[in-house]
Structure 1
Amino acid sequence: MKSARNKITDAVIEGILPWIDKNLSDESIRVRTVTERSGYGHWHFQRLFRQGTGINLAAYIRLRRIARAAHLIAFTNKGMLEIAVENGFSCQQNFTRTFKSYFAITPTQFRRKYANRAEAFRILTEELYNHHELASSVKLSSAVNLTFTPRQQ
């Protein structure tokens, strides 16, 4: 059985995840911004977030930006620069480099391969989240939206 403190921590994490998603386009959103929003100390919240989700906060923010960008690439006709900016990347070069580090192909190659292929995209994003060990606590409710399930202590 979870303690009251753990339940509160889980509630804070559950509340912060939608806020992060809503603010992904803000290039200035950083770990410090999120920890300040949480009301906990900087290092303490990062430790709690890692314990609760299985992934560190900075990696979670990057992963969400990339997953959201991948969805926009596959299911819209928006340009790569527009998608990069919408997901908090300062330039297309940085976006392309980061995207390629996650998917092993460029955003343009990704669009050619996954455009409007919902099932293939769903499988790919699940593999991405599983690879980054996020699936154990943050469950996919769709290809882009996530729900938080507290880890068992």
Structure 2
Amino acid sequence: MDVIMSYQHSIVVELVNLIEMNIQHDLSIEKLSDLSGYSKWHLQRMFQRYTGMKIATYIRNRRLSKSAVMLKQSDLKVLEVATAIGFSSQQALAAPFNAFSVKAQRTLERARMGLFKHLLPF
């Protein structure tokens, strides 16, 4: 069983590398399935087992985090960043980016509360 798990892990690592190298392109589970030779269902299941998230979620989160870095470290306009990272328009980036930012902020706030929880009176 360890050999199978190790093999599946290496498939997921290769898949992550493929996604990272092609993040700006139109990536879909169908295309990744064709490239890997695995069924969409099996590929999704393997990926989720090792990463804890669906392939589409991983791709979206990586695009959003790369967008944030590009916006912070460059003078590019939002539209330029959106198209460079694989979004079809500025609007296609804006809504998920805002949701991603809010979620990240809430996670950070919860983590901070956890650090000081022993100081709270309740």
TM-score range, shorter chain: 0.7 to 0.9
TM norm structure 2: 0.79
Superposed CA RMSD: 1.8
Task: Give the match for residue 147 of structure 1.
Answer: none
Alpha-carbon offset, residue 22 of structure 1: 1.2
SS of residue in 2 equivalent to 1:89: coil
2:13 matched residue in structure 1: 14
Question: Can you list the C-alpha shifts for 1:64-105, whole angstroms capped at 9, x where unaligned?
Answer: 10011111011111111110001111111111111111113x
Give the match for residue 79 of structure 1: 77
5+ residue gaps, structure 1: 105-123, 129-153
Amino acid at match of 2:58: Y
Give me the whole-angstrom Cα distance separating, in 2, the residues matched to 1:36 and 1:55: 20
Match of 1:25 in 2: 24
- Between structure 1 and structure 2, the one with the greater Rg is 2
Aligned partner letter, 1:20: I
- Shift in Å, 1:36: 2.0
Greater RCO between the two (CA within 8 Å, min separation 6)? 1
Give the counterpart letter for 1:22 in structure 2.
M
Query: 1:77 corresponds to which letter in structure 2?
Result: D
Q: Which residue of structure 1 aligns with residue 4 of structure 2?
A: 5
Tell me which protein shows more helix as a share of its residues. 2
The separation in 2 between residues aligned to 1:47 and 1:60, in whole angstroms, is: 13
Q: Which residue of 1 aligns with 2:115?
A: none
Give the secondary-structure state (helix, strand or coil) at the position aligned to 2:24: coil
Paired with 2:5 and 2:48, the residues of 1 have a C-alpha distance of 13
Is there any run of 5+ residues in structure 2 with no aligned partner, and where? 109-122
**TM-aligned CA deviation for residue 35 of structure 1:** 2.2
- Which runs of structure 1 show a deviation greater than 6 angstroms over 4 or more consecutive aligned residues? none
Of all paired residues, the percent bearing the same amino acid is 27
TM-score, normalising length from structure 1? 0.64
